[in-house]
Amino acid sequence: MVEVLVLAEHRKGELRDITFEMLTGARKICDKIGADLTVALLGFNVKEFAKELADYAKQVLIVEDERIKEFNSEAYQKILAKIIGERKPLLVMIGHTAIGMDLAPSLATSLNIPLTTDCIGLDFKDGKLYAIRQIYSGKVNAEITFKDAETYMVTIRSGAFQPEKPEPPMGGGIINIPSPLTDEDFAVKKFVEYVEEAKGEIDISAADIVVSVGRGIKDAKNIPLVEEFAKAVGGVLACSRPIVDKGWLPKDRQVGISGKTVKPKLYIAVGISGAFQHLAGIKGSGVIIAVNKDPKAPIFRVADYGIVDDLFKVIPVLKDKILELKGK
């Protein structure tokens, strides 16, 4: 039977959203090509997860080993190489995440499987696999095809598929696979510990109004311009990643996949292009307003209102107008 294999992702006792997103995307493909959906779950004491996953797949393969309580690419690679080698699935789906980026390229290479990464769409047409990915700052999409192979591998961008629970639940069977790991598999790479980012005074994720500044601000000395605007609208100041990378604002102000998720009533993005890693952090926002001089900036694909102009010209005027209205 043709099989699509999804790698379940979990961390610190929770299955990650990407798992359910991939399973939903995979299910559509399985329906289309008549394939079985299998999910691989690697970890320790994860039987509860297996039960949850059984609702989403025909089979849950579970490999438990105390030494993979936390993700380790070397150990995961050994287990998955064995599973893929034996089962020869048509398609393997892994998250384009901190886990997938550390695992998929070496796993695919070791098995000589064609891989493409960071996919936002997948389709099989006439037996051929097509993957869609976004390139050049999200301004163009690329369609990728593969050399004929027994197995293909893709990594999937977070948020590319909306998770949906199958109705009725699929009631998949749970198959325990003995761990093939030995201590040797941990001889060159070891997990040590997690470190949590330090908490700052302001919690941007709890704010009703968030004004975010991006690389368009050009220089640290211009940040007060946006900060004052944020104050005028009664919001907190947040930012995109490059602002934190440059040390212009602390990490707890960063919105996005590797920073904070915000859910304000109003989100104003100033000089931010709208990379998916940023957009992942503002999905739950009410009204989104973007100020950007480039009308083609991807941020305008998610914004409700757009202002196409030089932020240095328009932000001071916006600030004064709002202060004037508030004064009345």
Ligand X SMILES: Cc1cc2nc3c(=O)[nH]c(=O)nc-3n(C[C@H](O)[C@H](O)[C@H](O)COP(=O)(O)OP(=O)(O)OC[C@H]3O[C@@H](n4cnc5c(N)ncnc54)[C@H](O)[C@@H]3O)c2cc1C
Q: How far apart are the first and last CA of the chain?
A: 71
Residue type, 134: Q
Separation in Å, CA 76 to CA 19, 50, 71, 84: 16, 17, 7, 12
Residue 306 binding: pick among ligand X, other proteins, none (C-beta 5-8 Å cut-off by kind): other proteins
Query: Which of ligand X, other proteins, none is residue 311 near (CB under 5 to 8 Å by kind)?
Result: ligand X
306 binds other proteins (CB under 8 A): yes
Per CB under 6 A, contacts with ligand X among 226-265 are 240-242, 254-259
For residues 285 and 209, give the distance between their C-alpha atoms in angstroms, rounded to a whole number: 9
Q: Which of residues 87-146 bind other proteins (CB under 8 A)?
A: 96-98, 101-106, 108-110, 113-118, 130, 133-146
Give the distance, in angstroms, between the CA of residue 124 and the centroid of all CA atoms in the same chain. 23
Binding mask 181-220 for other proteins (x = CB under 8 A): ------xxxxxxxxxxx----------xx-----x-----
CB nearer to other proteins: give 171 or 316.
316
Shortest Cβ 95–other proteins spacing (Å)? 10
> Smallest gap, in angstroms, from Cβ of residue 121 to other proteins?
10
- Outline where 219-307 has alpha helix (H): 223-232, 241-245, 276-279
Of 85 and 284, nearer to ligand X (C-beta) is: 284
**What distance in Å separates the CA atoms of residue 216 and residue 273, rounded to the nearest whole number?**
8
Distance CA 38, CA 44 (A): 19
Question: Does 310 engage in binding with ligand X (CB under 6 A)?
Answer: yes
Give the residue nearest to ligand X (CB): 256
Name the maximum alpha-carbon separation found in the chain: 73
Q: How far is the CB of 63 from ligand X (least distance, A)?
A: 27
- Cβ 301 to ligand X shortest distance, Å: 12
Structure token digits, residue 287: 């009204």
Rounded CA-CA distance 98/100 in Å is 6
- Nearer CB in complex with ligand X: 117/151: 117
Q: Looking at 61-69, 193-201, 225-233, 268-276, which segment touches ligand X (CB under 6 A)?
A: 268-276
In the stretch 245-284, what mask flags binding to other proteins with x, by CB under 8 A? xxx---xx-x--xxxxx---xx------x-----------
Rounded Cα distance between 104 and 269, Å, is 33
Residue of the chain from 277, 288, 303, 318 that contacts ligand X (CB under 6 A): 277
Q: What are the φ and ψ backbone dihedral angles of 194, each rounded to 5 degrees?
A: -95, 145
Rounded Cα distance between 194 and 218, Å, is 33
The smaller minimum CB distance to other proteins, of residues 11 and 67, is found at 11
Centroid of chain to Cα 48: 24
Q: Does 134 bind ligand X (CB under 6 A)?
A: no
